[in-house]
Structure 1
Amino acid sequence: MNARLSPWRLGATLYMPAVRNDIAEAILRDKITGLRSLVICLEDAVSDAELPQALHNLQQLLQQLNAAQCAEGNAAWPLVFIRPRHLAMAEWLIENLDLTAIDGLVLPKFTLSTLPNWWQIIAETHLHLMPTLETEEVFDVVAMRELAQALQQHPCRSRILALRIGGNDLMNTLSLRRPRHLTLYDTPMGYTIKMLVAVFASRDFVLSAPVCELIDDQMMLENELRLDIAHGLVGKTAIHPSQIAAIQSQLMVSAADHADALRILNSSQAVFKSQGAMCEPATHRRWAEAILARAQEYGIAAENSSGNATLLRNLFT
């Protein structure tokens, strides 16, 4: 996987309905500040009546992107994914459109039973995959273990950038909606996220965090982001540009964690004390590697005199 397609580059992954006419500006002309990755959505964000217009817009967008990529490359672009409605639509897109400028597909309603069908239509393409875990099977730890084991051995493994947790769809299967005063971790999704991390992250899969649909509640978003990061999730779905800065500022690494990570990876000691805590390279190495990967993308934050995180340096720019 090339450096452009590192999961650490996802950051706030903004969903944009394919009916929008300004997607090219977001990709080619930095219309949305800080945008690192986006998903052109042909599924839930597009009604049946809007679908013809959405596909027309997508065709025009692809022509613009392919021309721009040929002329100047895509190194400065955000990562670009398409979320098809279903398998049949994905097959149509691949067969009828030039997806050269697209990094990959977000696979909706992904399950073990649909894996062979998805791979059949994607195997011969360059596209990377972000399967979405959002069906009732996701609540079954045995089903998730079987899926993780199958993906480990499957040829698609090297194409999977991240597994996305579909929070709203999963809550819908329980006939629930997130209460406005609670994070997802205070709902049945708390158990679900912990279980998915235990099953998939232990097998070296990356998981990205569900959307926080409380667009105007920055405090709730920040509280949820702290929990996302504590659970090892990489990046978070965004549904509004106003969420991007908050998500990506939380992905910055504290100066304390950065210092610990460097010592863990460079120490010859089996165990040592740092900043009041035990550090044990044998058991903390993978954490330290993840911390440095995050710092490379999002920079390091330090505590100022009032206790607020401020930018110390941004290693990516």
Structure 2
Amino acid sequence: MLKQAARGVVSMVLCLEDSIDDAEVVDGEANLVRQFADLDARGVEVPLLFIRVRTPEQIPDLVRRLGPSGRLLSGFVLPKFTDERGVPFLEAIVTAEAAGGRRLFAMPVLESPELLHLETRTEALTGIARTVDKYRDRVLALRLGVTDFCSAYGLRRSPDMTAYDVRIVTSVIADVVNVLGRSDGTGFTITGPVWEYFRSQERMFKPQLRRSPFLEGRAEELRTTLIEHDLDGLLREIELDRANGLMGKTCIHPSHVLPVHALSVVSHEEFSDAQDILRPERGGGGVLRSAYTNKMNEVKPHRAWAERTLLRAEVFGVAKEDIGFVELLAAGLTD
């Protein structure tokens, strides 16, 4: 945890669910309690820490066992979340919060077969929307469990493909964003699916990184490194996540953190467009040419995008003019 915090990781999930064997839960809980006590004794800054539990009963029990070191806990990740299964988890957080005397947050994971299967999807999404809206002040984000979606059909995407190349997954993502990711004040932040590769495998298809953005300086070497670590697919998936209404990504390997952060930085062009669209004098709408003179900015239709872009800028920052993701990646690797 401390090592990843030093690398810029700002939140971490300590998993007691799918990442450990069923027979290891008791030992896993005990280990987690020990590590929290150790961190608390060190008095150091830590990332936002979340525990992914298996059952609602674990939540108040763990908060009790953590004792004073529970001050380091930000909340819980709730697996297999549906309307029916989700309420007991959220109520357990409310109970634990009252007992522990500090605020706790929730990140439900949308990964159940009810969401995937066409005949139950609408009802499942409607129920989830109703539930998370009731507990809106505690739900930080909704997470997509694409690995579980694929599992329901015995599928697994290769490092040559993104989640959006698996059509049955794409349809679920679209419907989740449709119902739960609206920009009218009813929506939530929905995070991108896990990228599960971090070492090169034998390739069937060409790399997905164009050569031209990497031609200057040591960037060609950077391109080779990214391809060798199967990160070209990750970069493409991050871009597709954002294009489809998702923000953020769960990283399962340290090598993923830098690309996710670099591609989350708001470009100077995006920032310029967002500021122009949101100028007070533009409140009545209209169309204007972008400052980069390469696109149309239509004030009313683009307002929600501009607001989200400025929020992203607050978190990830804004790149200087003429600085792109290649320079950000290269600088991060140099540091």
TM-score between both structures, scaled by the size of structure 2:
0.77
Q: Shift of residue 217 of structure 1?
A: 0.5
Matched residue, 1:207: 190
Residue in structure 2 matching 1:280, options 270, 274, 298: 298
Give the SS at the match of 1:300: coil
Matched residue, 1:290: 308
Matched residue, 2:223: none
Residue in structure 1 matching 2:111, options 127, 134, 137: 134
State which drifts further: 292-301 or 200-209.
292-301
Segments of structure 2 that go 5 or more residues without pairing to the other structure are: 98-102, 199-228
1:191 aligns with 2:171: yes
Aligned residues: 280
Matched residue, 2:218: none
Matched residue, 2:46: 77
Deviations 1:157-176 (A, max 9, x none): 10000001011011111221
Aligned pairs for 1:241-256 (under 5 A) are 241-256=254-269
Residue in structure 2 matching 1:56, options 14, 18, 30: 30
TM-score between both structures, scaled by the size of structure 1:
0.81
Matched residue, 1:172: 151
| Contact 2:266-2:316 within 8 A present in 1 as well | yes
Matching residue's letter, 2:48: L
Matching residue's letter, 2:122: V
Q: Which has the higher contact order (CA 8 A, sep 6+)?
A: 1
Alpha-carbon separation, structure 1, partners of 2:85 and 2:79? 10
Give the SS at the match of 2:33: helix
Matching residue's letter, 1:120: E
Matched residue, 2:131: 150
Give the SS at the match of 2:49: strand
Q: Shift of residue 88 of structure 1?
A: 3.0
1:260 aligns with 2:273: yes
Matching residue's letter, 2:303: R
More strand by share: 1
Give the SS at the match of 2:107: strand
Q: Shift of residue 56 of structure 1?
A: 2.0
| Contact 2:132-2:139 within 8 A present in 1 as well | no
Cα distance change of structure 1 residues 278 and 267 upon mapping to structure 2, 3 Å threshold: farther
Q: Shift of residue 204 of structure 1?
A: 2.0
More helix by share: 2
Deviations 1:60-107 (A, max 9, x none): 112133445xx56xxx53211000122233343234333321001000
1:44 aligns with 2:18: yes
1:92 aligns with 2:92: no
Q: Shift of residue 146 of structure 1?
A: 2.9
| Contact 2:81-2:110 within 8 A present in 1 as well | yes
Q: Shift of residue 290 of structure 1?
A: 1.2
Cα distance change of structure 1 residues 310 and 141 upon mapping to structure 2, 3 Å threshold: farther
Aligned pairs for 1:9-20 (under 5 A) are none
Matched residue, 1:181: 160
Matched residue, 1:121: 92
Q: Shift of residue 257 of structure 1?
A: 0.8
| Contact 1:84-1:108 within 8 A present in 2 as well | yes
Segments of structure 1 that go 5 or more residues without pairing to the other structure are: 1-22
Cα distance change of structure 1 residues 149 and 308 upon mapping to structure 2, 3 Å threshold: closer
Deviations 1:12-67 (A, max 9, x none): xxxxxxxxxxx3x347xx45x12111100111111134333322211111213344
Give the SS at the match of 2:181: helix
Alpha-carbon separation, structure 2, partners of 1:164 and 1:35? 18
Q: Shift of residue 267 of structure 1?
A: 5.0
Matching residue's letter, 1:177: R
Deviations 1:243-297 (A, max 9, x none): 0001110101111111000001115242222133222322222211111121222
Matching residue's letter, 1:199: V
Cα distance change of structure 1 residues 26 and 84 upon mapping to structure 2, 3 Å threshold: farther
Cα distance change of structure 1 residues 180 and 218 upon mapping to structure 2, 3 Å threshold: closer
Bigger Rg, which one: 2
